[in-house]
Amino acid sequence: MAAPIVQQGGHQAHYTEADEKLFSKISWHLLPLLIICYIIAFLDRINIGFAQLQMKQTLPFSDAAYAFGAGVFFIGYFLFEVPSNLMLEKIGARKTLLRIMFLWGLCAAGMAFVETTTSFYILRFLLGVFEAGFFPGIILYLTYWYPSARRGQMIAIFMAATTVASVIAGPLCGGIMK
């Protein structure tokens, strides 16, 4: 079987059958977990609209409070994306992703204990802060495993997670609320 020829930096890169098997093995080890994490991240971003329907029964927040809580997430994300990326460069993708997933998980679990609008705003802000470096961290992590000729395809596969999350968000959130 002929090895595929791929353009790489102005010259052609030849991949052997062994290279193809190696990339396949790497992809099957990395991409499923990364895609699942990104689906969860995407759902976490958009879930406030669905959660509002259920939370209104137990928490007397106004529509404006939920809207501000949704927006304050992106304020935290915006303010801490650059610092998170600087930390990413210093400590590496693996440690950065571990930090993000751990703190993000703790913060998301803390949402179960929200009783006031202040605690709601703080936790939504912190979710944005903790999630800020997630996407750039994944992209950097993929650069460690794939040469530039393959990276675009792997990033496209990874980015398909947003489509999957969009498709499952409504039914999943509806099912959880029932």
101-116 pLDDT tens trace: 899 999 989 988 988 9
Q: What residues are paired with 12 via a beta bridge? A: 7
Residue 53: HSE in the Cβ half-sphere, 13 Å Cα cutoff: 11
Is residue 7's pLDDT more than 60?
no
User: From CA 78, how far away is CA 99, in angstroms rounded?
Assistant: 18
Please, are residues 44 and 108 in contact by the beta-carbon 8 Å criterion? Answer: yes
Instruction: Return the pLDDT at 177.
Output: 67
Instruction: Return the pLDDT at 54.
Output: 72
**Average pLDDT of 37-51?**
79
Q: Does the predicted TM-score (pTM) go above 0.75? A: yes
Which comes out higher in pLDDT, residue 94 or 68? 68
- Which residues 6+ apart lie within 8 Å of 75 measured at CB? 125, 128
Full DSSP string of 7-76: EETTEEEE--HHHHHHHHHHHHHHHHHHHHHHHHHHHHHHHHHHHHHHHHHHS---HHHHHHHHHHHHHH
Grade residue 1 by pLDDT with cuts at 50, 70 and 90: very low
The mean predicted confidence, pLDDT, of the chain is 84
User: From CA 121, how far away is CA 108, in angstroms rounded?
Assistant: 13
101-160 tens-digit pLDDT: 899 999 989 988 988 999 999 999 999 999 988 888 888 889 888 998 889 999 999 998
12-43 tens-digit pLDDT: 567 788 888 998 999 999 999 999 988 888 88
User: From CA 157, how far away is CA 68, in angstroms rounded?
Assistant: 33
Distance of CA 6 to the CA centre of its chain: 29
Is residue 48's pLDDT more than 90?
no
